[in-house]
Amino acid sequence: MAAIAKILKAKAFFELSCIWDKVPFTEALDGANFASPNFDGQEVVFHKHPGF
């Protein structure tokens, strides 16, 4: 199950970054500390996500 979740998460961030180029990635899943996360470009998303 964990592997399937990682694949789906990678696919979601890949598609989001292909459509909008800049997406909240590094701070996106930490809503308690970042109410308005910064947006990261495709290069950051592709290099920092372990699924790519």
Residue labelled with tokens 């592709």: 46
- Alpha-carbon distance of 4 to 26, in angstroms, equals 21
- The answer for residues whose C-beta is within 8 angstroms of residue 36's C-beta and 6 or more apart is none
**Residue 52 confidence (pLDDT) above 60:** no
Residue labelled with tokens 């950051």: 44
Contact 40, 22 (CB under 8 A): yes
The three-class DSSP label of residue 48 is helix
Q: Which backbone phi and psi does 39 adopt, to 5 degrees?
A: -95, 140
Rounded to two decimals, the pTM is 0.68
Q: What percent of the chain has pLDDT over 70?
A: 92
